[in-house]
Amino acid sequence: MSSWSTELELVGAGGEPVDLWRTINSHGLVDLPPTRIDAEARTLEATVRIRGARPRTIVLSEGTPGRALLRAVGPRPGARLARDLAGAAAHLLRLDEDLAGFYAIAAADPALAWATRGAGRIVRSPTVFEDVVKTICTTNCAWSATERMVGALVSNLGDEGPGGRRAFPTPAAMAVAGEAFYRDVVRAGYRGRYLLELATRSADGRLDLEALNDPEPSDDEVEQRLLALPGVGPYAAAHAMMMLGRYSRLILDSWTRPKYARLNGGKPVKDATIVRRFRRYGHWAGLAFWLVLTRDWVEENA
């Protein structure tokens, strides 16, 4: 570990507080390579790709009050690289997002008032490509299979940084891997052809997933563009939209429906009823739904 460190102010774009540990525990993808949660040390480790440099592993932990401590593995970075590493950390934590309006509504909801203590920020990957690939790897399978698939992609195709950690592979690296790699190494099953097509189209310029960060298109437009991608159905589109900071869709799948039912006395609830329950949140409806479902693990770890 290098001796270099800096601190990031934990405040959202709307001036709202950001609780680092609640943010780190915002969803399961945070604990997939090349990110890793250390529950005992209460840290988030991420290996990020920096333009013009080797990937670097950064570690985020609690700093002085209201700040996060950012450290980097490897040689002490120069001024430009240090700025890039701080920018990468701020991006992961989504510090540019304004949740003040969401907090104003949540404060009056007994089921969600707790979230105004700095929860609700969804950790994202450095690229949309990474989040979409990981989302596809969660479809129709156990979590252990998701861990295996993502782990194989990173360990076999990701560029190595100081300290031996690897970044998420580029579209080009995934595109040249070949069908046998996805079948025999990643063991992605039917998802293999989707991952290969997604990577190939991204690598040759036919597909620009990073353009989905553009705030101008409507949620309907973004949803349609996601649904047009190989391997992306309604669940994956809603999940990818959450990772993009677009919360108008509720993630309704084989985990969220039973979990919501358990929270409501065990009785199954129709999708339309769930949608009505969260309609008051408008374009934050999906975020409100997600926080209700994940309060147990977010608050347990707070």
The pLDDT assigned to 248 comes to 98
CA 235 – CA 253 distance, rounded (Å): 6
CA 60 – CA 265 distance, rounded (Å): 38
- CA-nearest of 122, 152, 123 to 137 is 152
The pLDDT assigned to 52 comes to 85
Same fold, 5-97 and 128-234: no
User: What percent of the chain shows pLDDT beyond 70?
Assistant: 98
Whether the pLDDT of residue 113 is over 70: the answer is yes
3-state secondary structure (DSSP) of residue 275: helix
Whether the pLDDT of residue 106 is over 90: the answer is yes
Question: What pLDDT, in 10s, does the model give residues 45-79?
Answer: 999 999 888 999 999 999 999 999 999 999 999 99
The pLDDT assigned to 280 comes to 95
Whether the pLDDT of residue 279 is over 80: the answer is yes
Fold of 128-234: Endonuclease III; domain 1 (1.10.340)
The pLDDT assigned to 37 comes to 97
- Whether the Cβ atoms of residue 223 and residue 249 lie closer than 8 Å to each other: yes
Please report the DSSP string for 70-120 in residue order: EEESSSPP-HHHHHHHHHHHHHHTTTT---HHHHHHHTT-TTTGGGGGT--
Question: What pLDDT, in 10s, does the model give residues 185-202?
Answer: 999 999 999 999 999 999
Which residues have a Cβ under 8 Å from the Cβ of 255 and sit 6 or more positions away? none
The pLDDT assigned to 2 comes to 61
Mean pLDDT of the chain: 96
What pTM value is reported for the model? 0.96
Tokens of 289: 């739904």
Domain ranges of the chain: 5-97, 128-234
Question: What pLDDT, in 10s, does the model give residues 134-165?
Answer: 999 999 999 999 999 999 999 999 999 988 99
What's the chain's Rg over C-alpha atoms? 19
Whether the pLDDT of residue 16 is over 70: the answer is yes
User: What percent of the chain shows pLDDT beyond 90?
Assistant: 95
Question: What pLDDT, in 10s, does the model give residues 216-265?
Answer: 999 999 999 999 999 999 999 999 999 999 999 999 999 999 999 999 99
The pLDDT assigned to 301 comes to 65
Asked if CATH classification 3.30.310.20 holds for the domain at 5-97, the reply, yes or no, is: yes
